[in-house]
Amino acid sequence: MIVAAAFCPAPPLLATPLNGAVPVLPELRAACREVAAELLAAEPELVVVTGSGENTTRLADAGPAGLASFAPGAGLSPGGLPSSVLIGCWLLEEIGYLGGRMLMSVACAEPVASCARIGAGLADEARRVALLAMGDGSACRGPKAPGYFDQRSLAFDAEVERAVRAGDLEALLRVDPELASSLLATGRPAWQVLAGALAGVPVETHVRYCDDPFGVAYLAASVRLRRP
Amino acid sequence: MRAMLSADRSGTLRLREHLFGPERLLVMAIVNRTPDSFYDAGLTWDEPAAMERVHQVVAAGADIVDIGGVPAAPGLDVDVAEEVRRTASFIAAVRSAYPGVAISADTWRHEVAREACAAGADLINDSWGGWDAKLPDVAAEFGAGLVCAHAGSQRPRTRPFRVRYEDVVQDVLDKTLRLAARAVQAGVDPASVIIDAAHDFGKNTWHSLEVTRRLGEITASGWPVLVSVSRKDFIGEALDLPIHDRLSATLATTSVCAWQGARVFRAHDVVQTRHVLDMVSAIRGDRPPARAVRGMT
């Protein structure tokens, strides 16, 4: 049974060892920690960390998150997880979670129905399952953004924000994979896994961060279930 | 394999009729025919201003003048025709004014490279990792040099987004050596091939610092190595400095790269870069002191 879920941004800069001397965006990190802590407050037996990757596959959990591929020369451990899942693992470790976790990569091009189906199957993975969906909105929100400015990014991210704030998870299943991909919106597969996992379940959300300080749309939100 | 593919045994770099011995550290002066490049922001957009810049950099000791018509950063589209319009006739004018100075065309497009070489360019400086597979054919056709750069897997004019490498230096070697081999197979003279780790292209700051720190592994490949670090973001982020305050750090980086064997240095600040490279040559013993009187009288 799914007992809680969360949307969490997955920029590498969330991991403080990658920041250099001065922590970047401490307010984003604080919001993500709160979201993760609320997820754990539901006392899950298993936390599923999901995010986009090259393939759709369950990943071997090789222990502590290795960040060296982002920052050679910084004395970090190597690691081969997809970025989104890797940052999710780092976040859980950062708040001291040592319990069971399952790591799930979902291909950037995975069709919507397939994402939803993957999500629907997660409830059976343990008696109490929490789902941490790692990923971001568009990366095209200004001329300095990683993907430069794309006018379509504004409406795209606005609809995702509306759906999350309203707890309208079904709307996330209408996010177009091709548009998401062209806007470098890495969160699409994970959002749709989450929507599939909680299909038909009334939820309320608490958005703790929604901004685009580097031209990438970051959204951190807790999802609480309103089951009787 | 690497030894077989390397520049000729003497280490001479040949850019059409321009020959540079292995001991020479070369300044490649940047001349942008763009209204929107990241540092000069249109300073040499007008042709008279661009030619004045050429006069200055040649007088300051530039060995190569690198002429480009498209900024590396994403922005307004510049198509082939517009890029040719911005660069080809200007290259011809520089060729005519300075027959003894090597000219480089900063482009990733073979159509532009062809017009540039026809106008007199001696080197095609492709910063985008051989995106256009026909580029080596143009270099071979004209006997021109070719820069084989590592841009990760980035498309031209895109920014790195969450890039990561198991070993960035190994990736640089793998990709640039493959491009160098492709160039030689296309008929480019091995003495005319240069490799470039391409700082900031497809790399975050940590990656560019690592490439700088381990540049000796890249120069050990035997190919002449170009470094293009002038006032780049990784320098700005390393010291938290805005573009206009990055000269000293650029020169420090230049010095470190020169000491590890890089041979061509793409630069905005030609006078200072010339001084740094000449000093490195003097320390190495490749260049006698200009005047050695102290303690000798």
Query: Which of A208, A228, A227 minimizes the C-alpha distance to A218?
Result: A208
What confidence score (pLDDT) does residue B1 get?
A: 41
ipTM of the complex: 0.95
For A15, counting Cβ atoms within 10 Å of its Cβ (0-12 exposed, 13-18 middle, 19+ buried), the class is: buried
Chain B residues contacting A, CB < 8 Å? 74-75, 158-162, 164-168, 204-207, 209-210, 213, 237
> A83, B207: Cβ pair inside 8 Å?
no
Q: DSSP readout, chain A?
A: -EEEEEEE---GGGSGGGS-SS-S-HHHHHHHHHHHHHHHHT--SEEEEEEEESS-EEEP--SSPP-TTT-TTS-PPP--S-HHHHHHHHHHHHTT--SEEEEEEEETT--HHHHHHHHHHGGGGSSSEEEEEE--S-S-BSTTSTT-B-THHHHHHHHHHHHHHHT-HHHHTTS-HHHHHHTT-TTHHHHHHHHHHTTT--EEEEEEEEE-TTSS-EEEEEEEE---
pLDDT digit string (tens) for A117-137? 999 999 999 999 999 999 999
User: What is the fold of A2-225?
Assistant: Protocatechuate 4,5-dioxygenase; Chain B (3.40.830)
Does residue A214 belong to the interface with chain B, where contact is any CB pair within 8 Å? Answer: no
Where do the domains of chain B lie, and which CATH numbers do they carry?
A: 2-284 (3.20.20.20)
pLDDT digit string (tens) for B209-222? 999 999 999 999 99
Alpha-carbon separation of residue B165 from A72, A78, A166, B5, B202 (angstroms): 9, 10, 39, 25, 10
pLDDT digit string (tens) for A67-96? 999 999 999 999 889 999 999 999 999 999
> A147, B159: Cβ pair inside 8 Å?
yes
pLDDT of B241 above 70 = yes
pLDDT of B99 above 60 = yes
**What gap in Å lies between CA A212 and CA A184, rounded to an integer?**
14
Name chain A contacts of B205, Cβ cutoff 8 Å. 20
Span A169-185, average pLDDT: 98
Determine the angle formed by the axes of helices B47-59 and B80-97, rounding to 10 degrees. 50
> A139, B161: Cβ pair inside 8 Å?
yes
Q: Say which of A80, A83, A148 has its CB closest to residue B162.
A: A83
**What gap in Å lies between CA A222 and CA A6, rounded to an integer?**
5
What confidence score (pLDDT) does residue A43 get?
A: 97
Span B34-55, average pLDDT: 87
E-strand spans in B229-294?
A: 264-267
Contact residues, A window 169-208, toward B, CB-based 8 Å cutoff: 184, 186
pLDDT of B3 above 70 = no
Query: Which of A172, A197, A45 minimizes the C-alpha distance to A121?
Result: A197
Q: Say which of A72, A74, A184 has its CB closest to residue B161.
A: A184
pLDDT of B91 above 70 = yes
CA distance to partner chain A, nearest, from residue B210 (Å): 6
Whole-prediction pTM value? 0.95
At B5, the pLDDT band (50, 70, 90 cuts) reads: low
pLDDT digit string (tens) for A27-46? 999 999 999 999 999 999 99
Does residue A71 belong to the interface with chain B, where contact is any CB pair within 8 Å? Answer: yes
CA distance to partner chain B, nearest, from residue A156 (Å): 19
Average pLDDT over chain B reads: 95
**What gap in Å lies between CA A222 and CA A205, rounded to an integer?**
5
Q: Say which of A74, A148, A186 has its CB closest to residue B74.
A: A148
pLDDT of B6 above 70 = no
Query: Which of A98, A3, A6, A110 minimizes the C-alpha distance to A53?
Result: A110
Query: Domain residue spans in chain A?
Result: 2-225
> A73, B209: Cβ pair inside 8 Å?
yes
How large a percentage of chain B has pLDDT more than 90? 92
At B2, the pLDDT band (50, 70, 90 cuts) reads: very low
pLDDT of B4 above 80 = no
Which residue type sits at B162?
R
pLDDT of A168 above 80 = yes
Average pLDDT over chain A reads: 97
What confidence score (pLDDT) does residue B187 get?
A: 98
What confidence score (pLDDT) does residue A228 get?
A: 59
What SS3 state is found at B288? coil
pLDDT of B7 above 60 = no
User: Which residues of B participate in catalysis according to the annotation?
Assistant: 232, 266
